[in-house]
Structure 1
Amino acid sequence: MAGARCRGAAEGTGPGTGTAVGVAVCGLGAAAWLSPALRRFAAVLMALAGPLLFRLGYRLYARTRLGFLFHQRQVKKARERFPHGHSVTQPLVFRGMKIVPIPVLDNNYSYLVIDTGSRRAAVVDPSDPVAVQAAIEEEGVTLEAILCTHKHWDHSGGNAELRQRHGACKVYGSALDAVPELTNPLGDKEKVTVGCLTFEALATPGHTVGHTAFVLDAGPFGGPPCLFSGDLLFLAGCGRLFEGSPETMLASLDAAVSLGEDTLLWPGHEYALECLSFASLLELDNPALEQKLLWATKQRWEKRSTCPSTLGEEQSYNPFLRTHRRELQEALGLRRGSGEPPDAFRARVLKELRRRKDLYKPTWGAPPRHLGTPPSPPGLCH
């Protein structure tokens, strides 16, 4: 039996799949029946190997050229798999302003935001420069600004190539986050103007140390505020805590919610179906969640985008914005301790939510006949 497990690890089908650590641990396991102490040591090593390898992989991806080369490979594969993008999107047009969602990679979104009067534009998180350039040319606009929410290549991978194409284009983002090609570092509440468009930087650390969301003031164009949230907030979800604590992420989510219920949410990923499915396991009697899940299921079977949402909607079904709700706390089996500050308890709720979401593995059944052929399932939330 132990020998079979070792073969599985070496071939990529068992514990420690595909890693030298996994094979080494299997070697220990094969002889563990001789020594209870050795068996305990093997168990500890297996428990530590996963997080250690994950952190190593994250550092290689986020901080080295190897990560960029991996990103380029993913871009190439996505272009072949989705020659027209992973989702059908619709631009949103206000009087004098236009937002064009650009589906890139397997589930990312970039956004081209246009002042239609001057034909000047900004792009948010241009991970695939070819797709973004195609949108720029189709719209006939001049790119003046790249607004980068954070350093991860699936949000910043196109910065360099677009700057080469558009010499006057500036790159905005946090100086804390090592954003590629950054020319104009921004602090919290600082503003960026492109034509008649005004964006405000909103410091939202948690996913990364310098994660920054961008808030577009659409009031002059007759629209509500628009939040380009990167990996802070998704429809029914939030980003992984790669470089922050639950307390930090909670404060960032609260800052987003404070923008107002009518604020349009433009997330960095198409994760709606997965995140709503996860949320439905926690709140079984939430009519808003049930209705949104049915709608999102139909949208995704038809390969249609689920963006944008609104912050008002999100507060009715997004568990990461409902840490104050007793029904969610009870579903998680958590109670506020005696003398525990409310926000400390909410951070504890958020931590448990994020832990469960990290472990969640969605299952995808057959679609109803009238909905046709389904798309590929969305990836795991970042």
Structure 2
Amino acid sequence: MWYSLYTRTWLGYLFYRQQLRRARNRYPKGHSKTQPRLFNGVKVLPIPVLSDNYSYLIIDTQAGLAVAVDPSDPRAVQATIEKERVNLVAILCTHKHWDHSGGNRDLSRRHRDCRVYGSPQDGIPYLTHPLCHQDVVSVGRLQIRALATPGHTQGHLVYLLDGEPYKGPSCLFSGDLLFLSGCGRTFEGTAETMLSSLDTVLDLGDDTLLWPGHEYAEENLGFAGVVEPENLARERKMQWVQRQRMERKSTCPSTLGEERAYNPFLRTHCLALQEALGPGPGPTSDDNHSRAQLLEELRRLKDMHKSK
């Protein structure tokens, strides 16, 4: 019931506005300290918004053109645009939830030439340019590919910035599909749907940088330690994350290579995880039905887990 009210009525928008006001009062400079990444004329700036969300500004520094990803707080995003002295020409929205799309109206009205991209299946506010799987958005030297990843919502998209034009790593802006050591809830799909979407990400290279939609790292790694307590990669990452969070520093980006090593939601094919959550698939089982069952069990356990 609450999900329908949030996504299908103006009560959801009013709730978002209330959360936005509270977060601005509580975190006048943002919930986390972030650092931009610069790659041969391309800059990625994480923008901390609401209580734990991240918006992003992707800039072609030579052309002075910018793309905003999930600009839920238009005031914070606009402040970054002005600080960088760039022209906002595109908004990429991963999905319809207000904490990712709430700034579309204000920013698109302020920047008259700004295009709003997203899935036509998702009811993105102020959408002007619908995207399908594998469509490419070009802004200056930026080549950004949309990948359909349904599950969290029916029309959820992630955006892959191609690193080849600027001779740097590719960057995945994952919205609520994938987090550091976690994944989003399946609100509009099945475990099989979500598994297929996660496998889409698994096909990308290990050096791909992951820029998630939320700062959930410490809680997620705590849960990963419950299901795989002997995973040394998780333990090392947790130590680093705890040091970061003690100083309120952002934990993004990670890499997909790192995520394969400790993110349980990307490890449903791994025997160690299958055995830890048994009874389940046999030692040689890699079929998608069994993996989807394991993913569903992981989500059930994660929803019950409380970070200590």
Alpha-carbon separation, structure 1, partners of 2:104 and 2:252: 23
Q: How does 1:323-342 map to 2 (within 5 A)?
A: 323-336=268-281, 342=287
Partner of 2:123: 178
2:55 pairs with 1:110: yes
2:28 pairs with 1:86: no
Identity within the alignment, %: 60
Comparing 321-330 and 156-165, the one that deviates more: 321-330
Partner of 1:58: 3
Partner of 1:3: none
2:61 pairs with 1:122: no
Alpha-carbon separation, structure 1, partners of 2:23 and 2:17: 10
2:235 pairs with 1:290: yes
Contact preservation (8 Å) 2:207, 2:257: yes
Superposed CA deviations along residues 305-340 of structure 1, whole A, max 9, x for unmatched, are: 000000000000000000011111111123227998
Superposed CA deviations along residues 44-76 of structure 1, whole A, max 9, x for unmatched, are: xxxxxxxxxxxx111111111110111011001
Partner of 2:153: 208
Q: How does 1:189-208 map to 2 (within 5 A)?
A: 189-208=134-153
Partner of 1:153: 98
Alpha-carbon separation, structure 1, partners of 2:282 and 2:63: 57
- Structure 2, unmatched stretches of 5+, are none
Superposed CA deviations along residues 17-38 of structure 1, whole A, max 9, x for unmatched, are: xxxxxxxxxxxxxxxxxxxxxx
2:216 pairs with 1:271: yes
Partner of 1:355: 300
| Structure 2 residue matching 1:76: 3-state secondary structure | helix
Alpha-carbon separation, structure 2, partners of 1:190 and 1:247: 24
2:17 pairs with 1:72: yes
Alpha-carbon separation, structure 2, partners of 1:148 and 1:341: 33
Alpha-carbon separation, structure 2, partners of 1:273 and 1:318: 12
Partner amino acid, structure 2, of 1:97:
V
Partner of 1:163: 108
Comparing 193-202 and 340-349, the one that deviates more: 340-349
Q: How far did residue 114 of structure 1 move?
A: 0.3
Contact preservation (8 Å) 2:141, 2:166: no
Contact preservation (8 Å) 2:191, 2:292: yes
2:170 pairs with 1:225: yes
Superposed CA deviations along residues 135-166 of structure 1, whole A, max 9, x for unmatched, are: 00000000000000000000000000001100
Alpha-carbon separation, structure 2, partners of 1:359 and 1:184: 39
Alpha-carbon separation, structure 2, partners of 1:190 and 1:298: 39
Q: How far did residue 274 of structure 1 move?
A: 0.3
Q: Structure 2 length as normaliser, TM-score?
A: 0.98
Q: Report the count of equivalent residues.
A: 308
Partner amino acid, structure 1, of 2:193:
T
Moved over 3 A (4+): 337-341
Partner of 2:204: 259
Q: How does 1:31-46 map to 2 (within 5 A)?
A: none
Superposed CA deviations along residues 165-200 of structure 1, whole A, max 9, x for unmatched, are: 001101000000000000000000001011111100
Q: Which has the higher contact order (CA 8 A, sep 6+)?
A: 2
Give the greater-gyration-radius structure (CA). Answer: 1
Alpha-carbon separation, structure 2, partners of 1:283 and 1:78: 34
Partner of 2:250: 305
Seen in structure 2, the aligned counterparts of structure 1 residues 361 and 312 have a Cα distance that, compared at 3 Å, is: same
How well do the aligned residues superpose, as a CA RMSD in angstroms? 1.3
- Structure 1, unmatched stretches of 5+, are 1-55, 364-382
2:267 pairs with 1:319: no
Contact preservation (8 Å) 1:97, 1:113: yes
Q: Structure 1 length as normaliser, TM-score?
A: 0.79
